[in-house]
Amino acid sequence: MSPNEPRTTPKTLFDKVWESRIVTPETSDAPGLLYVDLHLIHEVTSPQAFAEIESRGLKVRRPDRTFGTLDHSTPTLPPNAQGLRPYVTKQAESQVETLERNCAKHGITLAGWDSDDRGIVHVMAPELGLTQPGQVVVCGDSHTATHGAFGAIAFGIGTSEVGHVLATQCLLQRKPKRMRVTVDGNLRPGVSAKDMALAIIAEIGFGGGSGYALEYAGEAVRGLDMEGRMTLCNMSIEAGARCGMVAPDAKTVEWVRGRKYAPKGEAFEQAAERWLSLKTDDGALFDKEVRLDGSKIAPMATWGTTPDAGAAVGAPAPAPRNENDQRALSYMGFAANEPTTGHPVDVVFIGSCTNGRMTDMRAAANIMRGRRVKDGVRVLVVPGSVAVQRAAEAEGLDKVFTAAGAEWRLPGCSMCIAMNGDMVQPGQLAVSTSNRNFEGRQGKGARTVLVSPATAAATAIAGHIADPRAYAEEVAHA
Amino acid sequence: MPEPFKVLTSQTVVLPQKSIDTDQIIPARFLTTTTREGLGKSAFYDWRYKADGKPLAGVELNTVDAESHRVLVAGDNFACGSSREHAPWALLDYGFRAVVSTTIADIFTSNALKNGLLPIQVDKETHEKLLARPGAEVTIDLENNELRFGNHVVGFKVEPFARRCLLEGVDNLGWMVDRIVAVETFERENGLESA
C-alpha cells in the first residue's frame, strides 16, 4: 500500500493476492518481481528452460515448489505386448524422457508414467491439493488460468519465463487491469459451466480480455461446483485474459480438505480461515464490468474458428459481419442464417483440461448410458488424470462409454492439442469438449465445434450437433 | 540472450487475417522438439505446404526473400491462443525481427520481447495503410520509438524495461538473479522457506 492510500481503500480479490506476492514493486523503469508459490511443468514447454539455466550454471532454486507431469506428448493407448508405448514419433518419446531426466537431476517430483498422480497438469494439480487459494500458480501453458477457480492468481508463461521461475522462483510482471464478469441468476437444467464460459467469451470477444485479470462473480458462478469453476476459469485465455479467478468459499475449502498436498489438521483450519478472507471488498473498483443473465444461457456450440464464435445449439449461424466471419463459416462448411445442427459429425472428443474431470465424465455418461453412438461417428473419451480414470472405472462409466461404441483411453491432452497422434483427419467435423476451435487445431484441416460434455454426448448419439436436454429428459422419465 | 534491437529498415510481409493464433504460427505437432533452433521451416506450415509436404503455389511466405522482408504486418489480435514460445522462435528463425498489428496477445508479447522479436501495436489508421502496402519499406527505430514509412512517422510504445533490454542487451534472467537477496528476504518474512 502506498503511503498516500487511505487504509480503507476497497480492494479486489486480485489486488489482495497480487500485493501479498510482490517481492519488489514495479516502477516506471522496471516491472515488479512477483513470487510464485507453485510452478507446474510438463514435457513440451520446459526442455529449453532447463537447458538455459544449466548453460548458466544455475540450479532449480525451489524444487519443492516445482511439480512435473507428463500429458501433452503422451500416447493415450496402452503399451504393446513388449511394454513399448505407442509414441507418435521418436521425438515425442525423447521429449518425455528429457523431462524425466531433468526432474530426476534437479530433485523435482514428477508424476510420471508409473505414478497414480499423473494427469493433465490442470486436472492433476488441483486433485492433489497442490493448488490452494491465495497462491500465485504458473505453468508454461495458457490454460493455467484453471487454477484461478480456487482464488489463486494463475496464468500461463512462455519457456523463457519457465527458466526465470526455475532459477529465481519469481517472474518480472506489471499488474494487469481488472475486469469483473458477473453472471446473475441460475443456470437452467442441462446448461453447464462450459456453456457459461462460451457465452461469456461470445460477450467479451476473443481479444476482449487482453490486458485484464478476470474475476468471475454472481449467483450463477457461486452456484457452480469446483469442477465447473475450473472449467470456467480455464477458458479465460480464450477471451484473451491471462487469468480468471473465483473468490474462495465453503465449497473451495471442502474441496481442498484432505487432499494429498493440502495442509493438515490445525494448519488446514488456519489456512481455511485465511482463504475465506480472500474476496473483493464492497465498493472495489474494476477497470471494466461485464454482466450476463445466467438464466438466459442455453447449451452452446461454436460455429466459427475462434472460441468467441458461439451460439445456442440449434440457433442459426450468424450472417457474416466481415471477411473473417466469412472465412470462418467457409472453413467450417456452415451456412449463414442456418443452424449448424444439420451437418453429419465425424468425430466426438470428450476430455481435456477444460472438461476432463469426473463431473464431465458423469455428464457424458448419463446421456450415453443405454444408447448407441451413431454409425460412422468416432468417439474418444479421455479422462483428465489417472485419478479421474480410476474413479470413472469404479463407477462403471468406462463400460457405459464402450458399450455405447466409444473408445475409453488413458489420461492425457490427446485430441485437444493433437500432438500425440490422436488427430482429426482433414475435412472431418469434430465436436469437442476442448477449448480451441482454431483452424487445424485438432489436426490439419480439422473442423472443430466446441461444446459441453453433455452436448458432446448427445451429438455422439444423434450423429449431428444436438441439444442434450432432449436426452436428459428422456433419462429422467425412463 | 537476444540479439540487440536498435534500428531496422526492411520490407513488410502482410498477413491481413484477424486473430492469427499461435497454432497457425506453428502447429502443435511441431512442438515435440527439445531445442529452440530450426523452427522457421515450420512457421505457418499449414498455410505454406500441402498434405504431402510440397509447397503450396501462390503463397508469399514460400517465395519472398526473408532477408529483405523482416517485418510482419498482421491482422488484429495477432498471436492469440497458446503460450508456446515456439511461435516467436519460429518467426525469428524464419527471418522476422518485428511484428506490427493493432493488438497483439499478452503472452506472445512477453515471449517475443525476451527473444528479440519486437511486437509493435499501432492505431487502426496506420495499420490500414500498412495492410494496403505489402512489401513497403519501413523503418523501426526503437531508440526513438518511431515507425517510419513513406512520409509517415508514427510513435509506438514498448514496455520500458523490455525496451532497455533490447537496446542495451540487458539480460532478463541475469537481472533477476542479481536480486535474489530480495527473494530470500521475502521468503523469510512470509514463511515461504523450504521445509
Is residue A6 in a domain? no
Q: What is the pLDDT of residues B35-49, one digit of tens each?
A: 999 999 999 999 999
Phi, psi of A340 (to 5 degrees): -85, 0
Contact criterion met (CB < 8 Å) for B105 and A441: no
pLDDT at A3 over 70: no
Q: Find how far residue A77's CA is from the centre of its chain.
A: 22
B64 contact A CB<8A: no
The CA R_g of chain B, rounded to the nearest whole Å, is 18
Q: Is the pLDDT of residue A473 over 90?
A: no
* pLDDT at res. A5: 56
Question: Is the pLDDT assigned to residue A474 strictly greater than 90?
Answer: no
- Domain B7-167 grouped into CATH 3.20.19.10: yes
In this structure, are A152 and A207 located in the same domain?
A: no
Between the CA atoms of A29, A243, B183 and B168, what dihedral angle is there, to the nearest 10 degrees?
Answer: -30
Residue A106 to chain B, least CA–CA distance (Å)? 15
Number of domains forming the structure of chain A: 3
Distance between alpha carbon A162 and the CA centroid of its chain, in Å? 19
**pLDDT (0 to 100) of residue B4:** 87
How many helices and strands, by DSSP H and E, does chain B display?
A: 9, 7
Q: What is the average pLDDT across A70-91?
A: 97
Residue A270 belongs to a domain = no
Q: Among the three residues A173, A198, A228, which one is the final residue of a domain in this structure?
A: A173
Same domain, A21 and A162: yes
Query: In this predicted structure, what is the pLDDT of residue A478?
Result: 44
- Domain residue ranges of chain B, discontinuous segments joined by +: 7-167
Sheet with A109-111, edge to edge strand ranges:
A109-111, A66-69, A38-41, A136-139, A153-156
Inter-chain CB proximity A160 and B194 less than 8 Å: no
- Chain A touched by B1 (CB under 8 Å): no
Residues A214, A97 share a domain: no
Chain B residue numbers with beta carbons less than 8 Å from the beta carbon of A439 are 23-24, 46
Same domain, A186 and A161: no
Residues of chain A positioned with their CB less than 8 A from the CB of B31: 44, 72, 419
Residues A396-423 have a mean pLDDT of 98
Which of A44, A167, A441 lies closest to B173 in CB terms? Answer: A167
Cα angle, residue B121 at apex, residues B117 and B122 outer, rounded to 5°: 135
* CA B148 to chain CA mean position, Å: 19
Q: Considering only residues A472 and A306, tell me which one the structure prediction assigns the higher pLDDT.
A: A306
Cross-chain residue pair B24–A94, CB shorter than 8 Å = no
Q: Are residues A182 and A112 in the same domain?
A: no
Q: Taking CB atoms and an 8 Å limit, are A73 and B32 in contact across chains? A: yes
The answer on pLDDT for B67 being more than 60 is yes
> Does residue B1 carry a pLDDT above 70?
no
Verify that A109 and A127 share a domain, yes or no.
yes
* Spatial distance between the Cα atoms of A158 and A436, rounded to a whole number of angstroms: 19
Q: Which residue from B28, B34, B46 is facing A417, i.e. has the nearest CB?
A: B28
Residue A418 to chain B, least CA–CA distance (Å): 7
Shortest CA gap B111–chain A (Å): 6
| Final residue in a domain of this structure, among A145, A173, A201 | A173
B80: contact with A, CB 8 A cutoff: yes
A292, A260, A299, A291: which is closest to A132 by C-alpha? A260
By Cβ distance, the residue of B81, B83, B186 closest to A436 is B81
Contact B107 A242 (CB under 8 A): yes
Arithmetic mean of pLDDT, A309-335: 96
pLDDT confidence bin for A476, thresholds 50/70/90: very low
Given an 8 Å threshold on Cβ–Cβ distance, is B34 in contact with A58?
A: no
Q: Which domain does A241 fall in, by range?
A: 177-247+275-295
Do A224 and A119 lie in one domain? The reply is no
Among B19, B84, B187, select the one facing A206 at the smallest CB separation. B19
User: Does B173 contact A56 at a Cβ distance shorter than 8 Å?
Assistant: yes
Task: Please check whether residues A169 and A63 belong to one and the same domain.
Answer: yes
Looking at the fold, whether A433 and A318 belong to one and the same domain comes out as: yes
Phi, psi of A281 (to 5 degrees): -70, 150
Asked if the model's pLDDT at residue A416 lies above 50, the reply is: yes
Same domain for A377 and A343?
A: yes
In this prediction, residue B90 has a pLDDT band, given cuts at 50, 70 and 90, of: very high
Of the residues A115, A141, A173, the one at which a domain ends: A173
Residues A49, B31: Cα–Cα separation, whole Å: 14
For helices A468-477 and A453-462, angle between their N-to-C axes, nearest 10 degrees: 90
Question: What is the CATH classification number for the domain harbouring A231?
Answer: 3.40.1060.10
pLDDT-above-70 percentage for chain A = 97
For residue A243, the distance in angstroms to the closest alpha carbon of chain B comes to: 11
What is the predicted pLDDT for the residue at A8? Answer: 76
Phi, psi torsion values for A277, nearest 5 degrees:
-85, -10
Lowest mean pLDDT among A103-112, A151-160, A469-478, B32-41: A469-478
Q: What number is the average pLDDT over the span A440-457?
A: 97
Contact A52, A397 (CB under 8 A): no
Helix, strand or coil, per DSSP, at residue A250: helix
SS3 of A408, please? strand
Give the list of residues 6+ apart from residue A37 with CB closer than 8 angstroms, or none: A21, A65, A132, A135, A136, A137, A152, B192
Candidates B1, B19, B37: best to mutate against A (most CBs of A within 10 A) is: B19
Question: The CATH number of the domain where A27 resides is what?
Answer: 3.30.499.10
In a domain, residue A79? The reply is yes
Q: Read off the pLDDT band of B195 (50, 70, 90).
A: confident
Please answer yes or no on whether B29 and A441 come within 8 Å at the CB atom. Answer: no
Instruction: Identify whether residues A398 and A364 lie together within a single domain.
Output: yes
Q: Is A107 helix (H, G, I), strand (E, B) or coil?
A: coil
Judge if A357 and A414 occupy the same domain: yes
Residue A461 clears pLDDT 70, i.e. is over it: yes
First to last CA, chain A: 60
ipTM of predicted complex: 0.96
Residue B3: predicted pLDDT: 79
Mean pLDDT across the stretch B61-83? 96
